Amino acid sequence: MSSKTAYVQPVADSLSVFKEGIFNGKVLFCTGGGSGICKAMTEAVMRHGANSVIVGRNLERLTAAAQELSKATGKICLPAQADVRKPDQLKSAVAKTIEQFGRIDFVICGAAGNFLTPISGLSENGFRTVIEIDALGTYHTIKATIPYVRESKGSYIHVHVSAAKAAVDATSAVLAVEEGPHGVRSNVIAPGPIGGTEGMDRLGPKGTSVSSMFLGMPVGRLGDVKDIANTTVFLFSDAASFITGQVLVVDGGNEHLRTTQ
């Protein structure tokens, strides 16, 4: 299969590499699950048997995404409106999850805020907003879900995000050490350039065609949401039961370009 074919392939077609039903009876709680990478991660986990709750600020978008995910996977996906900057809203989303499903096995702290600006154009409030969404939002999500994840001995995955990257990575590493004895694993997925996502629209090079971007990538293509979805299924599965506290870079070798050229 050519890499270009893989790029345009829908997420659903690529998931048969993992055994079916490995997440039967499990429940995923995913912030940022209404669109983009996190929606694809949610779909992948649901295709392997889990029900899910997707969390975000825009209820209309979440509701449409939840219906789409339920229909595509045959499992239940429920929308829960919450801003990750508001702990009380997150607690309500968690309460809804427990009320509906009685458990939380997997958590993806995927909600991110990001925009391109030089520091000269970055106000204190702009900086604070990104830290509040990415770093504090991850913290609030962990605080709200950890009692339930401990009970079910599940896993966390945090999506790698811009200015708060170091804080998210450090939070995950400490969580892995502290919660390891309680059966909880915590890992970070650090996606490279993923085509067709809001992140690429916001942060990718402007005025460059997608085909010319392929040429600069070691694997000859941009990432696809299915690449992150497959990584998610792997990390949540028992195949990754000895992997915790790690940052897994899923970028087609992009990070090594600078050191090898």
Nearer to ligand HXC, 20 or 60 (CB): 60
Give the strand order in the sheet containing 106-109.
77-81, 51-56, 27-31, 106-109, 155-159, 185-191, 247-250
Residue 222 Cβ vs ligand HXC, minimum distance, rounded to whole Å: 10
Interface contacts to ligand HXC, rule CB under 6 A? 112-115, 117, 121-123, 125-126, 129-130, 133, 161-162, 193, 198-200, 202-203
Residue 139 Cβ vs ligand HXC, minimum distance, rounded to whole Å: 17
Residue 177 Cβ vs ligand HXC, minimum distance, rounded to whole Å: 26
Would you say the C-alpha torsion 217, 108, 136, 129 has a positive or negative sign? positive
**226, containing H or E segment:** helix 225-236
Residue 3 Cβ vs ligand HXC, minimum distance, rounded to whole Å: 18
Residue 205 Cβ vs ligand HXC, minimum distance, rounded to whole Å: 10
Nearer to ligand HXC, 63 or 129 (CB): 129
Nearer to ligand HXC, 195 or 245 (CB): 195
State the alpha helices, DSSP H only, in 56-119.
59-73, 87-101
**Residues 6+ positions from 150 with CB-CB distance below 8 Å:** 179, 182, 183, 184
CA atoms of 142 and 173, how far apart (whole Å): 13
Nearer to ligand HXC, 2 or 123 (CB): 123
Residue 164 Cβ vs ligand HXC, minimum distance, rounded to whole Å: 9
CA atoms of 124 and 213, how far apart (whole Å): 33
CA atoms of 251 and 6, how far apart (whole Å): 15
Nearer to ligand HXC, 3 or 114 (CB): 114
Residue 28, classified by CB atoms within 10 Å of its CB into exposed (0-12), middle (13-18) or buried (19+), is buried
Nearer to ligand HXC, 142 or 228 (CB): 228
